[in-house]
Amino acid sequence: MTITKGITIEGLSKSYDSLSVIENLNLHVERGEFVSILGPSGCGKSTLFSVLTGIEQASVGEVLIDGQPLAQAGSPFAWMPQRDVLFPWRTVADNVGLGFQVAGKHKKKEARERAIDLLPTFGLEDFADSHPYQLSGGMRQRVALARTIAQDRDILLLDEPFGALDALTRTELQLWL
């Protein structure tokens, strides 16, 4: 038996009562591939990410990670939802540091230090001690992206990660990613 590396989605459907959001989705993404899922607002892209991360359960179908059912695959995903979902009482460095903590690799102090090292990549080095309410929408989105990257997971699920960014910053981060 050959184990297929990557993400395999077989016959996935998700419904809410009588509303079918995803219907019979089949998809395979090889390790190392970069895939964009496109569609109009409300077509189920975010719902798919919710199923992949275990927040929602599929109504029908199966998700395999490297040949293993999703429930047995551990936590291979780092997900950045459409909204930045920053913690208002945490500084920029502490919000990004949370990504390192969630990954289970660093305690709070070391996570903050690693976050500060990562901030220049996202143009946030001068805002380490700022709180989310002190930032523009684009800056908040960069903090959320940095926190997602900090988790160092095998699979990144980015739900409109550049939506609130200006064209120049968007291009710089797309090239970096």
Domain boundaries, the chain: 7-74, 92-176
- Per-residue pLDDT for 62 more than 80? yes
Provide mean pLDDT across the span 101-129. 91
Q: Do domains 7-74 and 92-176 have the same CATH topology?
A: yes
Task: Kindly calculate the radius of gyration of the chain based on its CA atoms and give it in whole angstroms.
Answer: 17
Q: Is the distance from CB of 79 to CB of 151 less than 8 angstroms? A: no
pLDDT at residue number 167: 80
Of 2, 17, 25, 8, the C-alpha closest to 155 is: 8
User: Which residue's structure tokens are 């996570």?
Assistant: 111
CATH superfamily of 92-176: P-loop containing nucleotide triphosphate hydrolases (3.40.50.300)
Mean pLDDT of 33-56: 89
pLDDT tens, residue by residue, 130-144:
999 999 988 999 999
pLDDT, mean over the chain: 89
Q: Are the C-beta atoms of 98 and 61 separated by less than 8 Å?
A: no
Q: Is the pLDDT of residue 31 over 60?
A: yes
Contact 112, 64 (CB under 8 A): no
pLDDT of residue 117: 96
Q: Which two tokens stand for residue 31?
A: 């390790």
In this predicted structure, the answer to whether residue 1 has a pLDDT above a threshold of 80 is no
Given this model, what pLDDT does residue 2 score?
58
The pLDDT confidence band at residue 97, using thresholds 50, 70 and 90, is very high
HSE (side-chain half, CA atoms, 13 Å) at 51: 25
Residue 36 pLDDT > 60: yes
pLDDT band with cut points at 50, 70 and 90 for residue 103: confident
3: confidence class by pLDDT, cuts 50, 70, 90: low
**Positive or negative CA dihedral for 159, 165, 168, 172?**
negative
CATH number of the domain located at residue range(s) 7-74 in this protein = 3.40.50.300
Residue 37, pLDDT above cutoff 80: yes
